Structure 1
Amino acid sequence: MAMVCSDTPITRTAPAVPTPGDMASRAAGHLAAKLNGFARAMADHRRRRRDAAVLAALPFDLRKDLGWPADDMRR
């Protein structure tokens, strides 16, 4: 039978417990990221609607040349 010995001490440390300030900071960062994403999505939606309105306002012949569908052909 063999016996193994080690002279190095084993240190065990508990994981750091987040403080309320750390948790609030992390929650605020998460909320800010969500709000930025929502604002970006709203801006993209508004830009797409504005572009569609501009294309719809073009004369029929020009829309036809671009391949834009005519409103009276959807029936």
Structure 2
Amino acid sequence: MARVVVDVMPKPEILDPQGQAVTRALARIGISGVADVRQGKHFELEVDDGLDDETLHRIAGDLLANPVIEDWTVTRV
């Protein structure tokens, strides 16, 4: 078995209300120096060693991410 990590983030041009809320909250609690926060999703998959990269990207693009508004990376660890 192999472990695969899929990280999904909103595309840069997409507003991220959750990230904006965190940015504002940091200022409210007196923390400065954080200019922007983007919130995404992190998935860890245990897969068969033989599962190819094309299939992994298909899983990410068809199930884990919305390709219209999100980008993703697939990493074997």
TM-score normalised to the size of structure 2?
A: 0.22
Larger radius of gyration: 1
Instruction: Please report the TM-score for the alignment, with normalisation by the length of structure 1.
Output: 0.23
Higher helix share: 1
Higher relative contact order (CA 8 A, sep 6+): 2
The structure with the greater share of residues assigned to strand is: 2
